[in-house]
Chains A and B, each alone.
Chain A
Amino acid sequence: MDNEKDILEVRNLQVNFKTYAGDVKAIRNVSFDLRKGETLAIVGESGSGKSVTTRTIMGLNARNADITSGTIMYKGEDLLKKSEKEMEGIRGQDIAEIFQDPMTSLDPTMKIGRQIAEPLMVHKGMKKEKALAQALEMMKLVGITDAENRINDYPHQFSGGMRQRIVIAIALINYPEILIADEPTTALDVTIQAQILNLMKELQDKISTSIIFITHDLGVVAGMADRVAVMYAGKIVEYGTVDEIFYNPKHPYTWGLLSSMPTLDTGGDELPSIPGTPPDLLDPPTGDAFAARNAYALKIDTEQEPPFFKVSDTHYAATWLLHPDAPKVTPPDQIVARQKKYAEMQKDLVKQQRPSIPVEEEEEQQ
């Protein structure tokens, strides 16, 4: 821990939302690191707490949010202890965010050049002309054709894909250290999705930013991320490198997620899905929150919360199945096939290995 390659360290984060019905425990003890230059994907279904996590990092939570514990260390300082004024200085400068829906995330009454230039004017105190000149460069960088003529256009004159490029330009104009992408391609059609993802990867190399990539789409994760954290009911249940999560998953929830993702090999009539719905976070169940939907649940799952078990130096999973005393279970067929593939990959690990960031020793988190 306290790795100098870590740019962001989230520790034991707990966020509740105060509602009339009681406290909704949206984030329940979440810890993770973001390393310099990497892309960390946070995957989970709706309501698992992905967006709340990033909002908490940005300091943009709704008014009824209550951060009950935890630290978010950035450059040696805890973001949670910063004043609103200090956070304004960090947002859009050190940490920027791309939002889900490009159709609604641009101000409809402001010229897009001005919208892109705004962070420069706010953070660098730049004059409008100079900021607009830089905005123009950024528009070219994100691939907006005929940028010179379009800088004075309004958002409604652009297509969805182009608007998302503009949103990316706004986020990257100050070359932020961290870019949070909250489902940036969910609202786009598939071909545009691929373009936007490629653009993000390309720009990540150019301006060397770290990305937290929030998504529920595992297909997107495979191509984008270096590491993956799987979230369920306000907790991270498994994390590891992208290969480890895809080919050697250990948590039954990850199995479910992977099995419900159609691949070219998927046959049959019905796509497998995870039965049931996520638990009510007003009153989270004792033990493993996934137990009720888990075909592999053990008795202890309903009594005690599983700690993280180490699979490899980079791979941890919070499931009792990894306990030495646990009975051996066979994962679903598809997962077994994946694990076989993984074993083969490990055998000829010559050039199959993706150029991932060297990973230092990491102790078990709890």
Chain B
Amino acid sequence: MAKYLAKRIFYLILTLFIVITVTFFLMKLLPGTPLTNQAKLSKSQIHLIYEQYGLNKPVWQQYLLYLAGAVKGDFGTSFQFSDQPVSYLISSRIEPSLQIGLQAMIIGVILGVIIGAFGAMKQNTWVDTTTTVVSILGISIPSFVLAVLLQYYLGLKAGWFPIAEWGGFIYTVLPTLALGAQPLAESARFVRTEMVDVLSSDYIELAKAKGLSKTGVIYHHALRNSLIPLITIVGPLAVNIMTGSMVVENIFSIPGIGEQFVKSVLTNDYPTIMGLTIVYSFMLCVVLLITDILYGIVDPRIRLTGKAN
């Protein structure tokens, strides 16, 4: 297990290195400059500013300098908010994003599993049809459309939730719903398909022949076996939530990294773009690592350290 983890962490670092490299050069291809009022500045002023931020060096030198800094934990200072180190900027803003993302993920997947399992148990009835319709809607409506709809109807019209503020749990409800719809729909659809498959398998027949009740069969045998493949889509779902959060955080004015990311791209804030890209890829790598470890825990067939016979 330790050996496996070490290997995975090595791969994680390698992945981050590749992501940094690719992003750095792609970012330099972005049109525009970090300067907001370029037209009003003289050539020498621009030169001075570039000098100050090291932007007049060749791109490969900038890249090497960035790498050298990143290894030491220095991700530079933001262009938009002068004097603010990128690491501080991110750490002060990551909490709302994590909270909403995790809430959306957990609530979405749990509800999705329940809905999907019900659909499978009541296969080809109105319950099943309803769950299918719900999941198709959930998959096809983008989170930002849902966000605006929720904001308008539940926030503005009904007045149940704050529209676009940040303060406490009540402020997280609408963004969580908007972001959670997709994981809910995806996992409901996935679990339904898996469960229908599992319910027609031989070991379920044997479980029934043992005299287990319907709920006993589902709870002890069907659920675990249909949930295992769900782990594979947790990674993609996490990506879904991360990208969704960039727009949704803007809609609800949440001071998170998603909102920050969009702003930094719009203003060519190179250090912030780089810092946030690293954070996002790191989170995704960790999610994938966790799902792989989880796989081994729930499915004995692919456990890493098997007893030798």
Contacts and interface: CB of A to CB of B under 8 A. Distances in A.
B53 interface: no
B134 to A, nearest CB: 24
Nearest to B303: A154
14 contacts: A88-B212, A89-B211, A91-B210, A91-B211, A96-B209, A105-B203, A109-B301, A118-B207, A118-B220, A123-B211, A154-B300, A156-B301, A157-B307, A171-B209
B14 to A, nearest CB: 32
A137 interface: no
Given A154-B300, A156-B301, A88 B213 contact: yes
B213 A104 contact: no
Contacts of B300: 108-109, 154, 156
A107 interface: yes
Contacts of B206: 97, 99, 105-107, 167, 170
A122 interface: yes
B228 interface: yes
User: Considering the complex of A and B, which 4 residue pairs feature the smallest CB-CB distances, nearest first?
Assistant: A92-B211, A92-B210, A104-B202, A91-B211
Contacts of B45: none
Given A91-B208, A170-B206, A109 B298 contact: yes
B216 interface: yes
A110 B205 CA distance: 15
| Interface range on chain A (Cβ under 8 Å from partner) | 20 to 34
Given A109-B224, A109-B228, A110-B221, A157 B209 contact: no
B299 interface: yes
Contacts, number: 81
Contact of B301 (A85, A91, A108, A123): A108
B205 A105 contact: yes
A99 B203 CA distance: 9
Interface of B: 201-203, 205-214, 216, 220-221, 224-225, 228, 298-301, 306-307, 309
Contact of B203 (A58, A106, A153): A106
A85 B212 CA distance: 10
A118 B225 contact: no
A118 B213 CA distance: 12
A107 B212 contact: no
A343 interface: no
Nearest to A106: B203
A104 B224 CA distance: 16
B205 A99 contact: yes
Given A91-B209, A96-B209, 11 more contacts: A60-B209, A105-B202, A105-B203, A108-B301, A109-B224, A109-B225, A109-B298, A156-B301, A157-B307, A167-B206, A170-B206
Interface in A98-141: 99, 101, 104-110, 118-119, 122-123
Interface of A: 58, 60, 84-85, 88-93, 96-97, 99, 101, 104-110, 118-119, 122-123, 153-154, 156-157, 167, 170-171
A101 B180 CA distance: 41
A90 B213 CA distance: 12
B209 A118 contact: no
A225 to B, nearest CB: 22
Contact of A107 (B213, B216, B221): B221
B205 A60 contact: yes
A99 B228 CA distance: 25
B201, B210, B228 interface centre (most CB from chain A within 10 Å): B210
A91 B228 CA distance: 29
Contacts of B205: 60, 99, 105
Given A154-B301, A156-B300, A122 B202 contact: no
B221 A104 contact: no
Contacts of B224: 109-110
A88 B209 CA distance: 8
B212 A104 contact: no
B309 A157 contact: yes
B203 A104 contact: yes
A58 B209 contact: yes
Contacts of A96: 209-210
A249 B214 CA distance: 44
Nearest to B300: A154
B226 to A, nearest CB: 10
Contact of A119 (B202, B210, B221): B210
